[in-house]
Amino acid sequence: MFKLGLIINPVAGIGGRVALKGSDGEEIQKLALQRGAIPLAQQRMREALQKLCEYEAEIHIYTAANEMGENLSKNMGFQTTVVNPVNAIHTCGSDTEKTVQQCLQQGVDLLLFAGGDGTARNIYHALNNANSALPVIGVPAGCKIHSSVYALTPAHAGELLSLIIKGRALSLTEASVMDIDEDEFRKDRVKAKLHGYLNVPAENQFMQNMKQGGFSHEEIILQDIAAFIIETMDDSLYLIGSGTTPKAILDELQLPATLLGIDAVKNHHLVASDINEKQILQLLEKNEQVRLIITIIGGQGHVFGRGNQQISPEVIKRLSMENIVIISTPEKIHSLNGQPMRVDTGDEGLNKSLYGMVSVITGYDERTLYRIG
């Protein structure tokens, strides 16, 4: 019997689609709900566990009560033991850490958890305090996923775990636990801190890399990309995605930019800044032609699902791929080491529909053909 520890952060990622750039803290969580945010962590973990359904008889899950794992685990038919009777209404980081401690006492073989960088930090603190080298697999569900302890998508997490349950021998490697200051993040300043490392299965096909920063000579390339985009702009409304590469376009237009959010531009004028999913959908209704400009996260390769949850599945479906422009410096593409660009929209059917070769703008009137997969 495989003993699986399972933890879900019920509010992970709740601030993403409503443009709050994080979910840490009770006040932010309340504000997200007031803005109409819908918790997605349960669905993300469900996608991972669906890959394990054929092994139900071989798995015993140890988890926390209610929305932290019990409800989903039992609903899907897994043998379940509740090790931490948490409050059904409100949970916090200390609940995560206590659940880890209880899972260790039960001698679990591996810990599967859904959350973001804050959750990974809680997992790390609990395991570090217990001096434990328990292997973990993270199911990406948060707004901020800088840590490399997460699988590429929830489905990848489940597939990787299924290999382990089937008996495939996998070596372990240390993966970084990173987190940023959300207050600074909301001011467009990224202050990332390395908290430590967790053991994850060494399988690059399934696990993401740590987010990379830029290169010293990127500024000229960014200016070239920005100049080309601006010269080719028409009367469409342009949604400018998050990151330093799209920000270069607004810098060139001498417009204020939200480094870590989504801005809207039309006829070289700023229409709206730091917009959320609902506002984007409203703009799509009002404007006949809308284009989205996004970039790749260096090292990880994600174009959707990391730091831009405002671009939801519904937004992508309304836009269609022909109106989505991907821009990137050549270094970002090289940093993928031949691995494809990734999409983790939360809609597996949509993810698969986006797979294939796409044209990426990598300079002034320069394009690189690269695949999403």
Question: 274 and 186 in one domain?
Answer: no
Q: Do 258 and 177 share a structural domain?
A: no
Tell which of 171, 201, 231 closes a domain.
Answer: 201
Q: Are residues 196 and 234 in the same domain?
A: no
Query: Is residue 147 a contact partner of residue 43, using CB atoms and an 8 Å limit?
Result: no
| Per-residue pLDDT, 183 | 53
| Domain hosting residue 194, numbered range | 2-201
Last residue of a domain, one of 141, 172, 201: 201
Query: 351 with 276, same domain?
Result: yes
Same domain, 272 and 138: no
Contact 241, 292 (CB under 8 A): yes
The model's pTM is: 0.61
What would the two tokens of residue 99 be? 């659940």
Listed range (26-30, 292-296, 301-305) with the worst mean pLDDT? 26-30
Tell whether 210 is covered by a domain.
Answer: no
Q: How many domains does the chain have?
A: 2
- More confident site: 224 or 87: 224
- Residue 241: CB atoms within 10 A of its CB come to 27
* Residues 92 and 239 occupy one common structural domain: no
On whether both 139 and 235 belong to a single domain, the answer is: no
Report the CATH number at residue 54.
3.40.50.10330
Is the same domain home to 172 and 263? no
Asked if residue 288 belongs to a domain, the reply is yes
The answer on 156 and 62 residing in a single domain is yes
| Contacts (Cβ under 8 Å, ≥6 apart) of 239 | 262, 263, 264, 275, 280, 283, 290, 291, 292, 293, 311
When mean pLDDT is compared over 85-89, 204-208, 312-316, the highest value belongs to 312-316
- Identify which of 74, 47, 50, 48 has the alpha carbon closest to the alpha carbon of residue 60: 74
Q: How far apart are CA 338 and CA 340, in angstroms?
A: 6
162-191, pLDDT tens digit by residue?
Answer: 988 887 767 788 888 887 655 555 455 555
Cα separation, 34 vs 149, in Å, equals 31
Are residues 100 and 225 located together in one domain of the fold?
no
168 lies in the same domain as 232: no
Domain boundary residue among 142, 170, 201?
A: 201
Count CA atoms closer than 13 A to 39's CA, side-chain side: 15
The reply to whether 135 and 247 lie within a common domain is no
Average the pLDDT over 286-308 and give the result.
87
Closest to 150 in 3D by CA, of 306, 351, 359: 306
The residues that bridge with 266 in the sheet, in sequence order, are: 237, 269
Examine residue 208 and state whether it is found in any structural domain, yes or no: no
Report yes or no on 342 lying in a domain.
yes
Residue 211 inside a domain? The answer is no
